[in-house]
Structures are given as structure tokens and as C-alpha cells.
Chain A
Amino acid sequence: MATGEARAAGRRRGVLKRWSDDTARSIAAASLVFPVVSIVVYLLARIYERLRVGRIDPSLIVMSQQTDFYWRCAIAGWFGLSVAGFAYLAFRLKPKTRYRSLHLGPVLIVLLPLAVWAAWRFP
């Protein structure tokens, strides 16, 4: 929760400040951890499925009775949210420096070709 001083500063600016800057910064950084982890978990789940089956056969996709996609999305999203929660707690311990050490920018840049390659290679 915001301190009284932060709330007063927020009121002066015409907005109600709900969180302190450190809390907001930690939530913002953790919210970027969520997509990174979700995508990595989704990729790993898909690669595992493909390696377990051993080959890519259209008849296996057409005849599949389960909707694996829903489960994959749900599991990846759940993992992403959980890790983002832990990341938030970690950032709160040292809010100004911790998220910088994660180098989220390069990670995001690497993630784009990796996601496209994996989606193409393991359809």
C-alpha cells in the first residue's frame, strides 16, 4: 500500500496513487516475466510432445481426441503467473536493481525467432 505521503502526492497530481513506486516497479517488471516464462513453458511442452511421439504425422493430428492446445495454454499461463509472482517477491527485496540483472530486453529479442522457429519446426 502507498504511504500517506505518496497518496498526498498522487492527489496533488489528480490521481489516486495505489502503490508506492517500488511496488509499481516490481509489478511492472514481474508482468514482463509472465510472457517470457509462459512462452518458454509452452515451447518446452510442445517440443516434449513432439519428441515423445517421434514423428509429425497429419493423421495423428486429425484423429486426436483431446484438445491438447487448451491444456498447453492453461499450463503455460499458470506457470507464467506463478513465476511472475515469485519474481515480484524477488524484485521487492531489491527493487531498483534486480529486474535489470534479468536482461529482459535481450531475452525478448531472442524469444521472437525462437518462438517462430519452434512453432514452424514443431507445428
Chain B
Amino acid sequence: MTLLRILESVHGYLAMMAVAAVIHPAILLRKGKGLSRRNRWAISFAGVLPAVAFGAGMLIYQDYRVLVRRGLFQASPAAGFLFETKEHLGFAAIVLAAGACVCALVAPKDSSDLRKLSALAFAISFVLLLLVSGMGTWVTALHSF
């Protein structure tokens, strides 16, 4: 197994962990209650993990462009386009998770409305991350490093 395949797997695992991490605050914050110290850690984790997964993807992106993209489009143009779609949705998911994380952590105790908005943003981020992970897994199964 090459280093690129290992990095690709790490990126995939991190993305799956991010999906699981982001749904937690979406449930936790839905009623807008105040946060305990443990909840704050969980929310911070959910805000940071999608960005870490995205960063891991960025590490191998240049190699993907050079080594994989051409073969992927030859194998299946639909899968090639699906990967491009995944990139766009990935960006949307990480900015939503980051914004929701800051909102939930900074909102004062009486601002339950802001925490509910944060829960909504985390929920949308979860849906997007689920789509992104599914697309990524399917494309990787089709053609990879």
C-alpha cells in the first residue's frame, strides 16, 4: 500500500468520524439549552473534525488531479463529475460546521434561539457530510490511487 492510499484512507475515516461527530450537537442543541463543559468539548470536536478531514483531502488533492482524475473520467464520466460535486458540498459542510460551532460555543446562556439555529446548521452540515462521504466512498471504490 502506497503512502497516497494510506492518506486517502485516513481522509475517508476522518470524514466518516466527522459525520458521526456533527450529528451529536445537532441533537444536543435542538432545544437550545445551556451547555456543560463536556458538551462544549463535543461541539468543538464537531466543529474541527470536518475541517481536519477536509485538510487531509487537500493534502492528496494535487496527486489526485495528476494520478487519478484522468483515469476516473475514462472509467466513468458520471463518477468524475460526482467527485467534483463532492468537493463543492464538502466546502459547504465544513463552513457550516465551523460557523455553527462558534455560534454554539459563544452564545450566552439566555440565547436559546441562537443555539437552535446552530443545531439547524449542524443538521444541514450532517446531511451534506453524509452525501459527501457516500459519494467519496463510491468514487474511491470505482477508481483510486
What residues of chain A have their CB less than 8 Å away from a CB belonging to chain B?
19, 21, 24-25, 27-29, 31-36, 38-39, 42, 46, 56, 58, 61-62, 67, 69-70, 72-73, 76-77, 80, 99-100, 104-105, 108-109, 111-112, 115-116, 118-120, 122-123
Contacts and interface: CB of A to CB of B under 8 A. Distances in A.
Interface of B: 58, 61-62, 65, 69-70, 73, 77, 80-82, 84-85, 87-89, 91-92, 95-96, 98-100, 102-104, 106-108, 110-111, 113-114, 116-118, 120-121, 124, 127-128, 131
A123 B121 CA distance: 23
Contact of B128 (A29, A77, A112): A112
Contacts of A39: 91-92, 95-96
Give the interface SS of chain A, mostly helix, strand, loop or mixed. Answer: helix
A115 B88 contact: yes
A69 B117 CA distance: 29
Given A21-B111, A42-B92, 10 more contacts: A21-B110, A27-B106, A28-B107, A29-B103, A34-B99, A35-B92, A35-B121, A42-B91, A58-B80, A62-B73
A109 B120 contact: yes
B120 A123 contact: no
